[in-house]
């Protein structure tokens, strides 16, 4: 059934690249707050090397992943095959946050398309790669991406996004530091 891999090989990287959605799980140190699980989409995920991946983090109503990474660093990424043969892949590792406007931003965002509302790149050093059967994951047809978040970000503009982030993304729901505070 499930296997553990030494790294992300070319075949696995290609499979990951075909997935339309991935899930991000993080948690602060034990007993310091809520576990978070977020779905992600659009063309925002990249395999950066055999033991490194990253994704373009877009402005949203919360900042849990960023706050948890700054507090603890642990992160798990999960992909599920919703079409084709059943499969679940998990990437366990330690993540870091590179915020828009920081000196490292220009280099970090290079592998990704320009997406309105990008607020950070999350880079993960992968320590464990595993897969499992996914036999109970339903098959679904992809209709297409949702563009509402991008449309919203374009409507806000740079100043509006900065204001929104200052109000909504400065701290997690548990009061951990978010954007601009790490």
Q: Would you say 28 and 71 are in contact if contact means Cβ atoms under 8 Å apart?
A: yes
C-alpha distance from residue 27 to each of 46, 130, 141 (Å):
22, 20, 31
The structure tokens listed for 126 are 């992968």
The answer to whether residue 52 is domain-embedded is yes
Number of domains composing the chain = 1
The answer to whether residue 161 is domain-embedded is yes
The Cα 128–Cα 7 span in angstroms is 7
Task: Tell me phi and psi for residue 178, to 5 degrees.
Answer: -110, -130
The answer to whether residue 58 is domain-embedded is yes
pLDDT at 164: 96
The answer to whether residue 173 is domain-embedded is no
The structure tokens listed for 105 are 């931003």
Residue 1 has pLDDT above 80, yes or no: no
The answer to whether residue 174 is domain-embedded is no
The answer to whether residue 175 is domain-embedded is no
* Domain of residue 119, residue span: 3-168
* pTM for the full predicted model: 0.95
Task: Label residue 111 by pLDDT band (50, 70, 90).
Answer: very high
Q: Would you say 153 and 117 are in contact if contact means Cβ atoms under 8 Å apart?
A: yes
The sign of the CA dihedral 20, 90, 106, 14 is: negative
* pLDDT, tens digit (0-9, with 9 covering 90-100), for 126-160: 999 999 999 999 999 999 999 999 999 999 999 99
The answer to whether residue 122 is domain-embedded is yes
The answer to whether residue 181 is domain-embedded is no
pLDDT at 83: 94
CATH number of the domain bearing residue 80? 2.30.110.10
């Amino acid at each position: 059934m499930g296997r553990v891999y030494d790294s992300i090989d070319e075949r696995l990287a290609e499979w990951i690249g075909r997935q339309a959605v991935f899930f991000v799980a993080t948690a602060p140190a034990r007993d310091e707050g809520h576990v978070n699980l977020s779905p992600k989409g659009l063309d925002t995920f990249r395999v950066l090397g055999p033991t490194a991946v990253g994704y373009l983090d877009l402005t949203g109503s919360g900042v849990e992943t960023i706050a948890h990474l700054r507090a603890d660093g642990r992160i798990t990424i999960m992909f599920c095959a919703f079409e084709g043969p059943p499969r679940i892949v998990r990437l366990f590792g330690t993540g870091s946050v590179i915020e828009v406007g920081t000196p490292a931003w220009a280099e970090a965002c290079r592998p990704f398309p320009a997406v309105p509302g990008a607020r950070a790149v999350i880079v993960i050093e992968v320590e464990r790669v595993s897969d499992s059967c996914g036999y109970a994951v339903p098959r679904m047809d992809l209709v297409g991406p949702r563009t509402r978040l991008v449309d919203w970000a374009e409507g806000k503009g740079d100043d509006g996004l900065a204001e929104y982030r200052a109000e909504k993304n400065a701290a997690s729901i548990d009061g951990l530091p978010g954007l601009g505070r790490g």
